[in-house]
C-alpha cells in the first residue's frame, strides 16, 4: 500500500497526463480513444497502469458470473473512470465510489474529456485516505 505522499505524487502525474491527452486531442472523441492515449501517457512516465481490469462481483459471499471493468488501474491502487459525456452526473460519481469500495481502493478519479477545459471535468475521490 502506497503512502499518502506517493499517492499524491501519482495524482499529479495523472492530472498532467490527462491534460496532455486533452490538449492533444480536444473534446468530442469516444471514451476508448482517451483511455488508450492516457494509458500510453502514463506508461511513458514509468507508471504501472492496466486497462479494462476485471473485478469480480460477490453477493452474499458468492462470486457472481460477471465482472465490472475498471477503465484504468494505476499502480494497482488508483481507479480512473473515464467519460466522454456532455456533463458528469451524480450517477457517474456513485459508479466510481462503488468501484472503489468493491476494489478496496482509497483513491479514484472521474475524468470527463468532453469539456472545453479539463479542469472542469476532473474529479478526485477519496475513501479512508
Going by pLDDT thresholds of 50, 70 and 90, the confidence category of residue 128 is: confident
Instruction: Please name which of 113, 107, 45, 117 lies closest in space to residue 80, comparing C-alpha atoms.
Output: 107
pLDDT 10s digits, 26-69? 999 999 999 999 999 999 999 999 999 998 888 899 988 887 89
pLDDT reported for residue 55: 86
The mean per-residue pLDDT over the stretch 87-91 comes to 95
In three-state secondary structure terms, 16 is helix
pLDDT reported for residue 129: 65
Residue 107 · residue 7 · CB < 8 Å: yes
Q: How many residues are present in the chain?
A: 129
Amino acid at each position: 500500500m502506497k503512502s499518502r505522499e506517493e499517492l499524491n505524487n501519482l495524482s499529479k502525474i495523472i492530472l498532467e497526463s490527462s491534460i496532455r491527452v486533452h490538449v492533444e486531442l480536444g473534446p468530442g472523441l469516444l471514451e476508448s480513444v482517451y483511455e488508450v492515449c492516457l494509458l500510453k501517457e502514463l506508461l511513458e512516465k514509468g507508471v504501472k497502469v492496466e486497462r479494462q481490469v476485471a473485478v469480480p462481483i460477490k453477493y452474499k459471499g458468492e462470486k457472481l458470473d460477471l465482472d465490472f471493468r475498471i477503465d484504468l488501474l494505476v499502480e494497482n491502487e488508483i481507479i480512473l473512470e473515464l467519460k466522454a459525456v456532455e456533463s458528469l452526473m451524480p450517477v457517474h460519481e456513485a459508479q466510481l465510489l462503488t468501484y472503489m469500495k468493491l476494489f478496496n481502493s482509497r483513491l479514484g478519479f472521474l475524468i470527463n474529456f468532453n469539456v472545453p477545459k479539463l479542469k472542469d471535468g476532473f474529479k478526485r475521490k477519496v475513501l479512508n485516505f
